[in-house]
Every structure is written in C-alpha cells, then in structure tokens.
A and B are shown apart, each in its own frame.
Chain A
Amino acid sequence: MSVIAPNFKFSEFVKSILDNVFWILLIFALIGLPAAQIILFYIEMPVINGELLTPFLALTWLADPSRTLPILKAFMTTDLFKIAAFPGFGFAALIAAGTIFIERKMLAKLQLRVGPFYCGKFEGILQLMGDGLKLISKEIIIPAKADKPIFWAAPIIFVATAAAFVALIPVAPGWVVADVDVGLLAVFAIIGFFPIITILSAWSSNSKFPFIGGIRALHQMVSFEIPLILSLLGVVILTGTLNLSEIVASQSNFPWIIFLPIGAIIFFITILAELERIPFDLPEAESEIVAGWLTEFSGMIYGLVQLGTYLKLYAFAALFVVLFLGGWSGPMIWPPFPEEIITDGIVMGPITAKIPGLPIFSQEMLNGVLWFIIKTVGVIFFILLPRGVFPRIRIDMLLSLGWYKLIGLAFVNIFIALGLLYAGVLGPGGIL
C-alpha cells in the first residue's frame, strides 16, 4: 500500500486519464483547429515543385515513406540537430548519464558493495531516472542571506559553459558543432570560466562550507590550468594547427600518445584536478566540509550542477581522445551497408519495399563514432577508477604537485616535441 496516496484506485486513475484525453480532444476540436485554419489563411505557403505546399500536402509528405528518410537526412544537417542532438548536448548528456550509473555500480563493485539494485528489474538500471525525478520534484531551498541572482544563475551558467565545451569536440569527420580555426584556444578560454562560476556560486550562498570549498576549487583549477595548457603545446607544435578536427586528422597513422607520453600523463592528471575528482576532490571533500561548494544546493539546482560536472567529464575525456588517442581514426570494423537494399530494396516474399535515402549515415561516420565512443568510454573508465583506489591528498601537496612537478614535466614534454620537430622526424615536412 502506497503511503503517498492511500486512497489510490486504479479504476479512478484510468477514468481521470480518459477524462483528460476527452477534454483535450474537445478543446482542440473546438478552438485549436479553427485557430490553425485562421492562421494558415493568412500565411503565404511556398510553392515546391509547382505545387502549393498546403498543410495536407506537408502531412502527406511526412507520412510518405519514400520521402521520410530524405527529410530526416535534411534535418540532420541543420545546426539545430547538431547543437541539440548528435555531436552536441543530447549525445553528451546521454554519455554523462551512462557515466553516472557506471560510476556508482563500478565503485560499489570495487568496494564489495552492491550499488544501485532495486530500481528496475536488472541491476537497478532505472536508479538514475529515479534520482532525476527525485531531484526535479524536490523543493529548491535558497539560504536566507544568499545573493539570489548569482545563486540562481551560477548552475545554469555552469551547464551552459560545459555545453559550450562539448560543442567544440569533433566526434566524426565533419560531425562537430563549432569547427573553429582556433579550437584549442577556445577550449582554454572556456576552461577559464569554470573557476569563476565556482567561486561566485560559493560566495553567493553566504555560507562557510561552500566558501571554503569554492576557494579550494579556485586554487586548484587556476593552478592546474597552467600545466594543462603547457602539456597540450607539444601536440600543437607537432601538428602546426589549433583546429581540433585537423589535429585528429593528423593522427591517422599513429596517435600522439606514442611520441608524447609525458604530455598525455600530465594532461590526464590535470584533468583529474580540473574535474575535482579523487584524489583531487578537495573542493567537495565530504568528510571535511560537508559537500564543499555544493553544500547549499538543493533540488534541480543541484541536479544542474551534477549534469554540468558530468558533461565536463565527457568533454575532457573526449579532448584527451582527440588530442592523444587519435579521435575517430581506427581500423574499419563497421560492416558496409548492404548494396542490394539500396539497389533492389528489401524483399520479403512477395513484397518488395524500396526505401530511398538509404544509407542514412556513411560507413566512415559510423565507424568513426564507434571508435570515438570506445576510446572515450575507456578514458572515462580511467578517470573513474582512482575514486575506488586512492585517498584524498592535502591541498599543499596538490599545489606543490601542480606548480613544481607538473609544470616542469610539461616543459620536458615541450622540449621532446621540439626535438622531434627539429630532428625532422615528425611535424610539418617530417619523415613520418
């Protein structure tokens, strides 16, 4: 018996749904349809192929199976689709959601626990949906003395900045939201926004634990940005470009991690620090300062910050793949689309269905996306792994690691890259 609704009756539930459907249909027929007719009367419809595009014709085209796929393909080349769905936000959010579940389950297995188990039939795979619903339905509590505009704006700007970071990542040849010429510099510029948002949201909540966490986050992010930028200069020196797509294209024969392993290691460590993950999770140290700069967040504000954090995790892992592991390049393992379906159509006994517009995606694109996802998931696994293995380190050890060791190693990496370049081995005009 449910505690939330003790007088629940299934028949009344069905009746209420049917009632709602009835009223929606009635209002739509009486008001919606005439309103649509009146509006359409005043809009000039375009003429396509000598036919006036009436709404009936448009519906017919959409329902026509021989035109559905071309319309779909045309939609997939638009910027809206790229930003919202595939290489942009939707794809990244899907990977982020998967990451959260895998992290909880894997961490539980590492610590001999069960992890999410009861939500959903199999191993608690619906736990994430349950958590999301819980966060959406909870009240958003704002501290009485908080600075309300910044407190409201900070999580939204955090997600927006993480999404802007995601937009720069090339997933497959030609599949990138913003293919800018100075892509890597844009990445550096966007990374610089995260400490500002963190410290502002920490300050605005007007509470001690968030402020301590925010100052720790600021220290950590600002000091690890320098080795992060320096560790990527080796790749830039060898490729001679800042465009991320061109950097991936330059690794068609071998990934840069073979020649610049030190840079890859430094970049990985700085990723851990920028993402505030264990062993560098001082800003959120839950055993010392409650939840760090997230302490005062509740409800969907907290959900937004978590979404932004995991989007950022995906983006950094993807950046590692793009810069050091060769991005989408890999052996062709995706099977080619069967030729006879394009030429003859699908034959099922007496019926032959000829579907124009196939294949939707080219073989190269699907193969590239497959390799990209495999590599990114691998890097995400290695980012998650230290959480079950390492303890948290002190802030002075963190800062001395960042300022003394990583920056020095980054310069070693740059000199290796310069040596390879001037020896004529790699780079523009090199022998490899």
Chain B
Amino acid sequence: MADAIFLALSVITIGSAIAALEMRSLIYGSIALMGTLGGIAGFFLLLDSPFVAMFQLAVYVGSIAVLILFTVMLVKRELIFKKVEDKRRKFVGIALMLVFMVALGSIIMNSGIKTITTDEPAVDFRNIGADFLTYYWPALILMALILTGSVTGALILARREDVENDQRTD
C-alpha cells in the first residue's frame, strides 16, 4: 500500500515538475508547480511527519505558489519571452540532470541510509520545539533576527510617503 502511494506520489511530483517547465501557458505551469509542492507534502505525510507536511502546504502551496501565480497573472508573456527552441541545449540539460541525479543518488545510497531502521515511532512535534529552544537556540535566534529584518525592510520598502491621499480620514 505504502509502496503504491509512494509510486503515485513520485509520478505526480516529477510529472508536474516537468509539466511546470514545459507548459507554454504560464498559469498552467504554476498550477503544475503547486502539484509538485503538494506532492512533496505527500512524501512528508508518508514519512510520518504531518507537522512538516502541513507547513509545506501552508507555506509553499498557500503562500509562495500564490505569489508566483499572482506575479504570472500580471505579466504579458509575449513581451518578456522570446521563443528560443534549441534541441541541443535541451538534450544537454536533460543529460546534465541525469548525471547530477545519478551522482546524488549514489552518494545517498552509500551514506548508510539503508541501515536506518524504519519502524521507530514518528517524531513528536513537541520534541522539535523543545530542541529548537534548547540545543539549537542560536539557530532559532538567527532565524528570528533574519525574519524580523526582512519583514521590517519589506514594510519600509512598501511604505510610500510621496502619495498624498485627500480621502484619507484616519
């Protein structure tokens, strides 16, 4: 059962990733990208970590894919893309990807991943939180600082002082 689901998820993820690259319509391409990100969330569910899966859905599908979709909708495709059909570049790209994947796969396979026992209980998300607050606290503080900085920067960039609004009453 789990193998069948894994196969189906792999087909969905890789297929929609290829579709996201190859589709002529940008909107359908970004929908296919959502399929890829959702498929990865499915892998996390299969790996007994629903916490990460839900964050994958909420952050990647719910926010980042929406941003991509929104940007794509405001773009006139003909203006920024010229059709460059080059068969040789395409095949070289595919070959490069295959070499890269084989190398990565052999590294992962030789790293002792086969000896990991898989019947251990799933990690409780409370343990993740506890680890973040104890052992990994510098990483947590660093992430918090980066996030705060980027949010503050975004707010300052988005603020427009030059616009005078006569209707504004507040």
Contact = CB atoms under 8 A, between A and B. Distances in A.
Interface in A383-421: 394, 396-397, 400, 403
Contacts of B155: 403
Contact of B54 (A189, A193, A195): A189
A215 B73 CA distance: 10
Given A199-B73, A200-B69, A222-B66, A192 B34 contact: no
B46 to A, nearest CB: 15
Interface in B152-170: 155, 165, 167-168, 170
Interface residues of A, number: 28
Interface in B15-49: 27, 31, 34
Contacts of A186: 50, 54
A182 B51 contact: yes
A29 interface: no
A225 B125 CA distance: 22
B55 interface: yes
A192 B73 contact: no
B9 interface: no
B123 to A, nearest CB: 12
Nearest to B56: A189
A203 B73 contact: yes
B125 A222 contact: no
Contacts of A394: 167
Interface string B51-66: 1001101100111011
A189 B58 contact: yes
A340 B66 CA distance: 61
A265 interface: no
- Residue of B73, B126, B165 with most chain A CB atoms under a 10 A cut-off: B73
A215 B69 CA distance: 11
Interface in B90-140: 125-126
Contacts of A242: 125
Interface string A199-211: 1100100000000
> What is the predominant secondary structure among interface residues of chain B facing chain A?
helix
Interface string A172-186: 000000001110011
Contact of A191 (B50, B62, B69, B73): B62
A200 B57 CA distance: 18
A218 B54 CA distance: 21
B70 interface: yes
A240 B27 CA distance: 40
Contacts of B165: 396
Interface in A183-238: 185-186, 188-189, 191-193, 195-196, 199-200, 203, 215, 218, 222, 225
Interface size on B, as a range, is 20 to 34
Nearest to A397: B170
- Residue of A195, A196, A218 with most chain B CB atoms under a 10 A cut-off: A196
Nearest to B165: A396
A222 B67 CA distance: 10
A189 to B, nearest CB: 4
B62 A192 contact: yes
A150 B27 CA distance: 10
- Residue of A147, A180, A185 with most chain B CB atoms under a 10 A cut-off: A185
Nearest to B62: A192
Contacts of B167: 394
A72 B93 CA distance: 61
A196 B69 contact: yes
A414 to B, nearest CB: 13
B50 A182 contact: yes
Contact of B65 (A181, A188, A196, A203): A196
Contacts of A397: 170
A192 B61 contact: yes
A282 to B, nearest CB: 16
Nearest to B31: A200
Nearest to A199: B69
A232 to B, nearest CB: 13
B66 A218 contact: yes
19 contacts: A147-B27, A181-B125, A186-B50, A188-B58, A189-B54, A189-B57, A189-B62, A192-B58, A192-B66, A193-B62, A196-B62, A196-B66, A199-B66, A200-B31, A215-B70, A218-B70, A222-B66, A394-B167, A403-B155
> Which 5 A-B pairs give the minimum distances between C-beta atoms?
A192-B62, A189-B57, A185-B54, A189-B58, A188-B58
Interface of B: 27, 31, 34, 50-51, 54-55, 57-58, 61-63, 65-66, 69-70, 73, 125-126, 155, 165, 167-168, 170
Given A189-B54, A199-B70, A203-B27, 20 more contacts: A147-B27, A181-B50, A181-B125, A182-B50, A185-B51, A186-B54, A188-B54, A188-B62, A189-B55, A191-B62, A192-B61, A192-B63, A193-B62, A196-B61, A196-B62, A196-B66, A196-B69, A200-B69, A215-B70, A218-B66
